[in-house]
Structure formats: structure tokens, C-alpha cells
Structure 1
Amino acid sequence: MKKLALHWKIIIGMVLGIIWALVSSSMGWSAFTINWIDPFGTIFINLLKLIAVPLVLFSIISGVANIGDPKSLGRMGGKTLGMYLVTTILAITLGLVLVNIIKPGKLIDEQSRIDNRINYEIWADSQGYQIKDGINYLKDPAYLQRAQEISDLTKKALKEVSVSDKLETAGKQKETTPLQPLVDIVPDNFFRALSNNGLMLQVIFFAIFFGVSLLFVPDDKSEPVLKLVDGINEVFLKMVDLVMQAAPFFVFALLAGVVSKMAGDDIGKVLEIFKGLSWYSLTVLSGLLIMIFITYPLILKGFVKKISYSGFFKAMSPAQTLAFSTSSSAATLPVTMECVEQNLGVNKKISSFVLPIGATVNMDGTSLYQAVAVIFLAQLHMIDLTIGQQITVVLTTTLASIGSAAVPSAGLVMLIIVLDSVGLNPAWIAIIFPVDRILDMFRTVVNVTGDATVCSIIADGENMLDYQEKKSPTDTFDLDSKS
């Protein structure tokens, strides 16, 4: 068991969690699961939330500050960051379009979604969050009765939840100006933003501002700060690694607990949850495959005529294969650079600049998955997010993707940030955890393909692309020979 790879251990933990959820539901053991197993899942979420905010802060500062001397970047630096931003926004937009068309969260039975909604409203009140769509199901006596059946709250407590300060909040929202979301991004107190997950956009703004400012500070002054930031960032990445070592047990507890809370002793609801999960997986996978086989080739063809469709994928197949197997853009980076330089003919001056930045800031697959996941979880709980709230998802996922470490499952940590930004329960990640590993493998292929696409475009624009179509598969870079 010790020699077994971590992702296989996590998969075993998930399978055992699913089996336990089914057995627990059919045997009427949900109360035992919630009282004695679910708390370990809560500890897992708390550990991830503990790490998430400082990880985003120091990852973004490090990524921005390591870009280099802004005076020497010039046109190439601006084009690189601009192209990465465009592909990220395209990926998120595609994810939002697909999830709003397919509506995977609405493809389970209505009663299960109503129960999910009631649990959401009870949770939101206990955490001090606003009800996102302004609708309060607990005001309806019919739902109030059902709420008492699926929770341990009294009718009096449930009524207090339903008549809290929702009207006052709605009144305040009507008074806000159109540019209020922009104002809210800029913090007046950085430490208050750090202590409030709902203000994560302010933390991201500060991190970008701090990193950019470091670029303009003389090297002798900025270098100690940058070394400190990089060192702290490494510590938090190691904390993620340590937490993930215990993930197989935590995932078992988290999955069993969340399913028991949502389904209780009704095994039919457990099956409905996994039905919704299947549609969610298909939605994410559709978006990722569209990015790989349609979006990137179209973008590349629009800028670089000489690289053919089949030639691009033949050149990048070793890096894509490694990305799929490792789920790590960072681990794949050396092979990505080799494929881009040898097979696509990109000058090393371009690849050594563009690709490391891409491994840090370009997380198109992660961004698409996060956007789909947030809307799917909202749909699953009968929460209709407005266009404005979905734009917030786009903005948060775009910026949070900069802070996503290029290591397996780092996007799951960032998803907590995105869920918090729209006032949804971070513990809901347990619902999508069973399929995260396989989707993570496809997400990494998207990230690496996007890096290579942008790198080729920048090289062509700088007249540093010497692409020659390889006639034989043996002419392409051999991954095994470099191992």
C-alpha cells in the first residue's frame, strides 16, 4: 500500500466513501456518519481554507514579481500576458455557456434539489452569508415543515432563519452604484480582507499590486523580499502536499458525510447525486475537449498559418501525454519546452520566457472547471445566480487561476476561494471530489496545450519561429530518450 501512488489511494478513499454512503443510507446509519465520520471531512475543509488564502497571496506575488525587469519585457511581455488573459477568459466563458445550456445540476429530481436548497439557506444563515438569489424557501410553511424533517432545528429557529435581515440586505443592494463591484475589489484594510474569505478579490488585488511594485524596486532591495516570498510560498505548497498525503482518509470522511447530509437515509437521493455528478463530468469534459481540439487550433491558425492542425498535435503529443499522466504543468514544463523548441521550432529565448510564465499564470483548464463547478453546485441547490454574480465568477476564477500552483489538485484549493466569493458552501467540493482526479488530468492537458499555443504565437510575432513539418513520427521528440 505504501508503494501505491497517492492518486490511487485517493480514488480508493472515494470509492470506499461512496460505498459507505450507500450502505449508511440503506441501513439508516446517517446519524452515526454525520456525528462520527463527517467531522474529519470538516477538518479537511478547514485545513484547505487555512492554506488557501496565504497560498493565493504569495503565489501571485511570486508569479508576478518573477516575470523580470519590466523595462526589458517591452512588447513581448505585454503580448504574452495579454494572450494568456484572453485564452483564460475564453475558457471560463465557454464553461459558463456549456453549464448554462446543459444545466447538469438541474437534471436530478426536484425534491432532492429542494432539500439541498433548504440546507443551503440554513447554512447561509448560520455563516452570516446572504441568500444569493433573494428567494427564501423557508418562508413557505410547506418548506418549513420539510426543513424540520431534514434538520435538527425547531420550527421557531427555522422561522428566525427565514425572517432575518434579507429585506434589509435587498434594500442596501438597490442603493449600490453600477461601479460598486469595482470599488469592492480595492481594499481599504488589507488585514481585514485577509481575515474574510468573502473579500478574496481584495487579497488578489493586493497581491498583484505588490508583485508589480516589486518589479520597479531596485534588485538589491527587492531580492531579499522576493526570496522571502518564494520561501513562504514553498512552505505553503509543502503544507498542501502534507494535507494531500492524508487526503485518502479525509476524502472518505468528507464524501460520506456530505452525501449523508444531503440524502439522509434515502438511498434514492444518493443515486440522484451521482446522476448529477455524471452530467457535471460530461459538461466539464466537453469544455476541455473543445478547448484542446477546437479553440486553441483556431487561435493558432488565426496567428500562425505555417503550423498545420495535425502538425501541432504531433509536435506536442509527448508533453500532452506527460501532462495527462502527472496532472502537473510544472512537472511537464521541461518536456513542454523541448517539444516547443525541437518540434515547433520556437527560439529558446521565447520558450524560456513564455512557458514558465504560462506554467504560473495560464490555467485555462482549471479556470473552465472552476466556472462549471460553481454554477453546477448552485444549480444543484436551486440557486439561480444572476449575470452579475456569474461575471464575479469569471473575474474571480481569472484572478485565482494566477494563484493556482502548477501541481496536482491545486485547482481544488482555489475552488474554495471561488465558492466563497459568491457566498456558497466550500464543503460542497466533496460532491465533485469523486471525479476530480480524472478531470484534473484533462485540465492539465488543456493548460499545457494553451501554453504551447501562446508560445508559438509570440514566437511568430517576434520572427523567432522556424517550424518545419515533421514527415515521420520518429522525427518528433522522444519522451523516453529524455528520461
Structure 2
Amino acid sequence: MTEDKQKMSLTKRVLLGMFAGIATGFIIRTFFSDISFVNDYIVHGIFDVGGAIFVASLKMLVVPLIFVSLVCGTSSLKDITTLGRLGGKTVAIYLATTAIAITLAIFTANIFQPGVGADLSAASSFQSSDAPSLGSVIINMFPTNPINSMAQGNTLQIIVFAVLFGIAVSSAGKAGVRIASFFADLNEVIMKLVVMLMNIAPYGVFFLMAKLFTEIGLEAIGNLLGYFLVLSGTLVLHGFVTYGVFFKVFTGLNPLIFLKKMETAITFAFSTASSSATIPVTLETATKHMGVKNKIASFTVPLGATVNMDGTAIMQGVATVFIAQAFNIDLTLGDYAAVILTATLASVGTAGVPGVGLIMLAMVLNQVGLPVEGIAMIMGVDRLLDMIRTAVNITGDSVVTCIVAKSEGEMDVDVFNDPKAGDKEEELHLHTLGGEYSQPDKADSSV
């Protein structure tokens, strides 16, 4: 029985759960939407509870995984100046891909013109929170209470504290060696937790998709079909072409192998619509399946989940052009340049702020004098598009992780090229718990 189960890979099981959930959601919406028992006990009962527990379990691992893996990675650096080089290189590539993303979005939106003929006269008002200044974001990166930062899930503050703590461990002599050994063991245990969670993922993904697609009406997509197709098409184009070219040029490796190994992480991101919640899976994919050393991935993946906003930048570019066309407002080349610059810098300036996508879009619209009320009209399809944006974002995180690791000589190419790399680590055999490391019998001790 166990061997039969193992014939289907984790990726296939997760994909099966996702498509089964989507089909179940559409069936319930089409044939059983008026039955109160189905809505109350299945959709808002089993599906809602199961999906919420799955997402909560993912988020449960984010803070300990970021802190422990980053301490392990930082403390293992022989030269601390390497950290500055890593940080500068990572942020520079993230900003470059974001600038390309929004440029591509503006280009495609102007070619296909999804907003021409759209009626936004009934647009309701939309209120967006004010975006913090870049200076305040930098100041707030440094925690006054690290425990409170962990409790609140403030990723940037956790990263800063973990890096400082790791540097202290690496310079603490024998005491540091003991602490580093403890964190290395702790990291292995947490990664086992990730594997445990990934093995129940097909059920969690099923619950999430089933509930979502009982609530999504196709009429919302129909009313904004041009916007939906242009935005989703641009996201897919950026995810495959831009990242594929970047990956091939800067690593020399096969981008098709990369995309194949990203299937599970992309499915998680699509299902949860959260880059932060997907961090455990992205990190596991980068290290176990692609051969990136933990000292690199533990830094680039959490940072990317916070500041890499390529998918959101594409949404801003398409939405800006769409709203301008719908309100019959002409944008100049200077306006487009301002959109590109504002969105690229805002991807860092609004990092970690709740509702970051809408805040960034409101900032861009205000920058070029477009009515913010236009946001209200595109929110009907934003939930589904957000799932695609998140999948693009975590793909970008992994591309940059591989590029940085390859440039630093911290990537095992043999692991990357091995199609079965990491599969063994994803297998979970709870019945062997304690068996592998149990003490030998007396009869065997003399052998």
C-alpha cells in the first residue's frame, strides 16, 4: 500500500488536489448553490475550516523557519563582508526585474487597450491607506523588541535580527560553535515540519480551491474580460519569458528544469495567494530540489517574499493604463516613466505593509493624476489575479536565489540537474519514528 502511494509524486498529488477543488467548487456553485446544508456545513464548514487550518499551519512555520535558517546561514559565512555583497546583489536584481515587469505591463496594456470602451462612470469611491515613506520603512526594519516582531510576523525586522544574531554567533568562539550546532539541528527539525505539512497539502489545497470557486462568479470576469486577459497574459509572459531569459543568461542552466522543479511551490502560491505563507515551500524547493546552499536561500527567499513585487508591479502597470483608457485620460511618456519609477521604488518602500498591492496602485495613480476611484471597479477579479501574481512573485524569488547562489559558487549543479533531487526528503514515514537512531540490541553490540 505504501509503495503504491509513493508512485504518485507530491507535485502530482498537490496538482490533483487543486484541480479537484476547482471542479468541486464550480459543481457546487452551478448545481447546489441554493441548498443551505451544502453552503452551511460543506462550503462554510468543512472547506472553510480545512483551508483555514492549512494556511494557518503554513504561516505557523514562517517565523521560526526564517529566523533559524537565517541564523544558520549567516553564522556559517566565513567572511561577514560577503553579507553586504549578497544583500546588494539581491536587492539590485529584485529591483531590475520589477522595473522590467512594469515596463512590460505598460507596453502590453497599450497594445491591447483593455480599458477602451469600459464604463467606469459608476465607479464607487475607494479609500487607500497612506503609504509610509522610504525613510520610515528603513527605520522600522530595526526591531525594538525582537520577540514582538516575531509575534507580529514582521519579516523585515526578523531578517535584521536574525542576521545580527548570526553574525554574533559566528564571532563568539567556542560558545558560538555550540550555538551554531544547536541551530543547525533545529533547522533540520523545522524542515521536517515543512515536509509533514507538504504531505497534507493536497487536502489543504483542495479545501482552499473548492471554497474559493464556489464564491467566484464568472460574470465578474466577463465584465472585465479585456483587463483580466491582458493582466493574466502579461503575468504568464513575465513568469516564463523574462525569468527564463534571466535564469539562462545568469546561471547558464536549463530554465525548463527550473520551472519543472517549481511546480509544487507555484501550486502552493496559487492556492494561498500569499508569498509569505509559501516561504517554507519556496525555501525547501530552492535548497533540496535546486541545490542552493542554505546560507544563500535563507537570505534571498524571505527578503524576496517581502520586497519582490513583480506580480504586483505588473498589476499596477496594466491597471494604470486600463483606468486611464476607461476615463479617457491620455498619459504622456513622462507619466509612464513616473509610473515605472514610482512602482519600482514603492516595491521596497511599502514592503510588509498590509494591503500593499492597493496602496502601491493608489500611489501610482496619484502620481500621474488618475482617479483612485477606478480601483473599485477592478477589485471584482482581483482575488483570482492575486493568486497568479503570487505564483509569479515566488518564481521570481527562486530565480534570483539561483542567480545569486550560482554567482557565489553556492549552488550544487548536480542536484539541480537531478530530476529526483529532494523527492526522498519529501517522503514521510512516521512508523519509523525513532527506529533509525535507536540503540542496538545487546546481541548486535558485539558485532
Q: TM-score, normalised by structure 2?
A: 0.58
Deviations along 1:362-412, one digit per CA (max 9) or x if unpaired, are 459966995134457889999x99988974643687xxxxxxxxxxxxxxx
For 2:211, the equivalent position in structure 1 comes to 257
1:323 and 2:333 aligned: no
Amino acid at match of 2:27: V
Select which of 169, 176, 193 maps to 1:222.
Answer: 176
Provide closer, same or farther for how the CA distance between residues 292 and 421 of structure 1 changes in structure 2, counting only shifts above 3 A.
Answer: same
Report the CA distance between 1:39 and its aligned residue. 1.8
Provide closer, same or farther for how the CA distance between residues 27 and 372 of structure 1 changes in structure 2, counting only shifts above 3 A.
Answer: farther
1:10 and 2:10 aligned: no
For 2:159, the equivalent position in structure 1 comes to 204
Cα separation, 1, equivalents of 2:79 and 2:134:
36
Alignment of 1:221-370 (within 5 A): 221-261=175-215, 263=216, 266-269=217-220, 276=228, 279-280=231-232, 282-287=234-239, 289-293=241-245, 297=249, 313=252, 316-317=253-254, 320=255, 322-327=257-262, 328-331=285-288, 357-362=295-300
Contact 2:230–2:318 (CA<8 Å) still a contact in 1?
no
1:181 and 2:115 aligned: no
Cα separation, 1, equivalents of 2:415 and 2:62:
37
RMSD: 5.1
Deviations along 1:317-352, one digit per CA (max 9) or x if unpaired, are 4xx554343333324556x8xxxxxxxxxxxxxxxx
For 1:58, the equivalent position in structure 2 comes to 68
Report the CA distance between 1:179 and its aligned residue. 2.8
Contact 2:101–2:310 (CA<8 Å) still a contact in 1?
yes
Matched residue of 2:77: which SS? coil
Alignment of 1:69-468 (within 5 A): 69-70=79-80, 79=85, 82-98=88-104, 133-134=128-129, 179-197=135-153, 199-218=154-173, 220-261=174-215, 263=216, 266-269=217-220, 276=228, 279-280=231-232, 282-287=234-239, 289-293=241-245, 297=249, 313=252, 316-317=253-254, 320=255, 322-327=257-262, 328-331=285-288, 357-362=295-300, 371-374=309-312, 391=345, 393-394=347-348, 420=354, 422=356, 444=398, 447-449=401-403, 451-452=405-406, 454-455=407-408
Report the CA distance between 1:251 and its aligned residue. 0.8
Report the CA distance between 1:250 and its aligned residue. 0.9
Cα separation, 2, equivalents of 1:368 and 1:93:
16
Deviations along 1:6-32, one digit per CA (max 9) or x if unpaired, are 111111111111112212222252834
Cα separation, 2, equivalents of 1:285 and 1:324:
13
Contact 1:91–1:368 (CA<8 Å) still a contact in 2?
no
Contact 1:362–1:451 (CA<8 Å) still a contact in 2?
no
Amino acid at match of 2:8: L
Cα separation, 2, equivalents of 1:386 and 1:446:
21
Deviations along 1:278-307, one digit per CA (max 9) or x if unpaired, are 84364254255224426874xx6xxxxxxx
Amino acid at match of 1:323: F
Matched residue of 1:187: which SS? coil
Deviations along 1:59-111, one digit per CA (max 9) or x if unpaired, are 222222221243xxx6x77545543442233234434544566579x979999
Contact 1:102–1:283 (CA<8 Å) still a contact in 2?
no
Cα separation, 2, equivalents of 1:8 and 1:388:
40
Contact 2:51–2:207 (CA<8 Å) still a contact in 1?
yes
Contact 1:103–1:376 (CA<8 Å) still a contact in 2?
no
Amino acid at match of 2:150: L
Where structure 2 has 5 or more consecutive residues not aligned to the other structure, the ranges are 263-284, 324-338, 359-381, 422-447
Report the CA distance between 1:55 and its aligned residue. 1.4
Cα separation, 1, equivalents of 2:176 and 2:229:
47
Report the CA distance between 1:41 and its aligned residue. 0.8
Amino acid at match of 1:293: V
Select which of 33, 44, 56 maps to 1:35.
Answer: 44
Matched residue of 1:186: which SS? coil
Deviations along 1:399-454, one digit per CA (max 9) or x if unpaired, are xxxxxxxxxxxxxxxxxxx5758398xxx9886668988997787566435543x2
Contact 2:235–2:314 (CA<8 Å) still a contact in 1?
no
Amino acid at match of 2:194: V
For 1:24, the equivalent position in structure 2 comes to 28
Provide closer, same or farther for how the CA distance between residues 69 and 34 of structure 1 changes in structure 2, counting only shifts above 3 A.
Answer: same
Amino acid at match of 1:206: F
Provide closer, same or farther for how the CA distance between residues 366 and 279 of structure 1 changes in structure 2, counting only shifts above 3 A.
Answer: farther
Report the CA distance between 1:356 and its aligned residue. 6.4
Q: Percent identity?
A: 17
Amino acid at match of 1:268: E
Report the CA distance between 1:232 and its aligned residue. 2.3
Q: TM-score, normalised by structure 1?
A: 0.54
Deviations along 1:208-239, one digit per CA (max 9) or x if unpaired, are 22122223222x11112112222222222222
Contact 1:59–1:233 (CA<8 Å) still a contact in 2?
yes
Contact 1:55–1:233 (CA<8 Å) still a contact in 2?
yes
